[in-house]
Chain A
Amino acid sequence: MKTRTWSDKLLLGIFYIAISLFALVCILPFLLLVSSSMTDELSLIQNGYNLMPQKFSFEAYKLILKTDVIYNSYLVTAIMTLVGTVLSMIVTSGIAYAISERRLKYAGVISFFLYLTILFNGGLVAYYLLIVKYLHMKDTLWALVLPGILSPYYVYMLRNFFRTVPEALSESARIDGANDFTVLLRIIIPVSLPAMSTIGLFYAIGFWNEWFRALLFIEKPDLYPLQYIIMAIIRNLDFASSMINSNQQIATVVPALSARMATTVVAIGPIIFLYPFLQRYFIRGLVMGAVKG
């Protein structure tokens, strides 16, 4: 009896240590990032990136916040996320509600129409040509938003959720003379708010983290989203220097290394701050999507 509890205790101890270690590994890069963004540039060059700044300096933050680049890209990302998420939710909830209704005869045809896009796609070249050459969206905000409006996976997830809403609710509204628009707006969406906010969150995170479309379609620096600024800084350290140099004429050390860390901190700031709130919906959404398959 005693040996069993001992082995159980040992196992539990190992588990606690293992999960704590993994959790530590998960946040370690964030700490490294924040610390090096607050480190003096010279110390960074000499001593490298460290978990604790050897010499504090907020110079990098001061400099990147002095230029327009960050504000500008923040605005681009905010517009992209807001417009994208709102449009996505309107389009997704409409189509998901329609195919969730069992009386809709062609619901199967419509889901298959969506499903086919998962099976086969035209490839990058055709996609690029369509948007650049035929829709003339190069260097517009539309190129960042419109191609990502609808994800078939989210349509299926939302449809599955809408199907769990008791039919009696919409039926009684329909008897009172409500049409399908009204039923969706007044009954289905209010009842499904948790699911709606989860899917909205998925879309919003997707738009916030988007840089691939900027890589393909945006050449004007005015339209760079935040994430793409980070990509530009990674590819080219001079981009970081040029960001700060524009209104900093005195040739001291240009804090390019710490500036790129500071830019990244600024870019992920909102996600980290909203995180405790976000992750609740997120976990719920994952479970919802996972269990339903």
Chain B
Amino acid sequence: MIKAIIKKQATQQCALKDKLISNRRGQELEILIGDFMDQECAEWMEQTKFRRNVFQSVFRELARNKYLYLLTVPGLLFILIFNYIPMLGVYVAFLDFNPIKGLTGSEFVGLRNFDFFFSGLDWPRVTFNTIYLNLLFILGEIVSAIVLAVVINEIGGKWFKRVTQSVIILPFFISWAVVSIFMIALLSSDTGLINNTLEAMGLQSISFYSSPEAWPGILIAIRIWKSAGYGTIIYLAAMAGINNDLYESAKIDGANRLQMIRYITLPLMKSITILLVLLALGKIFYGDFGMIYALVGDNQFLYPTTDVIDTFVYRSLRTLGDFGMASAVGLYQSIMGLILILITNKIVKLYDRDASIY
């Protein structure tokens, strides 16, 4: 009780003191308040300063820019619901999850789901396939994009340039479902165009849909087909930024076109290439579900080379109905993915301050 009164007094005096200090004659009047009060005041201020300041400044900021903050509310709500709430769902990884019993009714089993996954044979396979295929994709995409960009950059003829550019990004607009139809028309064993052509030339036909060893090659080819145009445009934009004087002076020195590409264009593409590779490496633990599932689907013959973490998780969830394990594998992927993104972003930031997306 007494404490409360003292506190109240202190508050009033603090307020008074603030007022006085802000007053011009504050310095003179301050002496009158006395040492005791000053000490009391300081102590109490110390205790409440932090909290009061934070709340006050947050509230003041929200009020001052209330319309701007209102504009962010719908977006933040969507993110909260569809991205943050599922993060709590990683809890399922530690349950013997039963859809009927739900999150609260299912039995807690600790690390059993992880144990099951890591002691099985699927773990090394899906991890290896995910990383291996992604490395192939990164390599294929970057190399093809650089080559195509150099070629388009060198050729003359505005019309020809524009048409080829338009044509090579066309596949980027097509869904994996449609690409899968293309593949059926090309690769089917009895009716596909490739096998028809092989037979017409008197060669042995290949049953692509039952030869897993062919698929890393097929997938990388499709990947280049679908997204080389996208990368090309990024590189072309970078090449457009090269100062033309460099080429002019090289020409005077007697360089031919190949030398100009080799000693001017390509070295200047180094930094953007490192950037693109690092950003892609950050996502190396995430398989391209859309691609693999559309092209391979439930074709068990091809699992040895094409089954990635994402398709494995999907199958555990939908075909086997094993929520717990699917969730455990998903969590393993998320954590590995997080580590890799953090590492690569760190390197990107060291390498180029402005480059990271956030």
Contact = CB atoms under 8 A, between A and B. Distances in A.
Contact of A125 (B151, B180, B317): B317
A285 B330 CA distance: 32
B178 A264 contact: yes
A23 B168 contact: yes
Nearest to B254: A4
B155 A19 contact: yes
Nearest to A285: B233
B90 interface: yes
A94 B72 contact: yes
A9 to B, nearest CB: 9
Contacts of A221: none
Most buried by B among A123, A146, A155: A123
Interface residues of B, number: 100
A155 B75 contact: yes
B213 to A, nearest CB: 23
B338 A12 contact: no
B79 interface: yes
A290 B234 contact: yes
A197 to B, nearest CB: 16
B229 A26 contact: yes
Contact of A122 (B90, B167, B358): B90
Contacts of A47: 196
Contacts of A133: 99, 102
Contacts of A126: 85-90, 92, 327, 330
B142 interface: no
B330 A123 contact: yes
A106 B155 contact: no
Given A26-B225, A181-B71, A234 B298 contact: no
Nearest to B163: A23
A12 B181 contact: no
B308 to A, nearest CB: 13
Contact of B331 (A33, A92, A123, A286): A123
By DSSP majority rule, is chain B's interface helix, strand, loop, or mixed? helix
A92 B180 CA distance: 32
Interface residues of A, number: 106
B143 interface: no
B323 A125 contact: yes
Interface stretch (A63-71, A78-86, A243-251, A274-282): A274-282
Nearest to A212: B290
B76 A113 contact: yes
A58 interface: no
Contacts of B103: 129
A211 interface: yes
Interface string A282-293: 110011001101
Interface in A155-209: 155-156, 179-181, 184, 205, 208-209
Nearest to B199: A48
B327 to A, nearest CB: 4
A122 B237 contact: no
Interface in A201-229: 205, 208-212, 215, 227-228
By DSSP majority rule, is chain A's interface helix, strand, loop, or mixed? helix
Contact of B169 (A49, A181, A279): A279
Most buried by A among B99, B165, B185, B186: B185
A49 B175 contact: no
B273 to A, nearest CB: 12
Contact of B74 (A19, A90, A118, A129): A90
A118 B256 contact: no
A242 interface: no
B72 A125 contact: no
26 contacts: A19-B148, A19-B151, A23-B164, A23-B167, A23-B168, A27-B170, A45-B191, A49-B186, A95-B71, A98-B72, A111-B358, A120-B334, A121-B86, A122-B90, A123-B327, A125-B93, A126-B86, A127-B86, A184-B71, A230-B175, A231-B177, A231-B294, A267-B178, A276-B166, A279-B166, A279-B170
Interface of B: 61, 65, 67-69, 71-72, 74-76, 78-79, 81-90, 92-93, 99, 102-103, 148, 151-152, 154-155, 163-171, 173-175, 177-182, 184-186, 188, 190-193, 195-196, 225, 228-230, 233-234, 237-238, 254, 256-258, 275, 289-290, 293-294, 297-298, 310, 313-314, 317, 323, 326-327, 330-331, 333-334, 337-338, 341-342, 352, 354-358
Interface of A: 4, 7-8, 11-12, 15-16, 18-20, 22-23, 25-27, 29-30, 32-33, 36, 44-45, 47-51, 90-92, 94-95, 97-99, 101, 103-106, 110-115, 117-130, 133, 135, 146-147, 149-150, 152-153, 155-156, 179-181, 184, 205, 208-212, 215, 227-228, 230-231, 233-235, 257, 260-261, 264, 267-268, 271, 275-276, 278-279, 282-283, 286-287, 290-291, 293
Given A118-B341, A123-B327, 5 more contacts: A26-B167, A32-B193, A90-B74, A121-B86, A233-B181
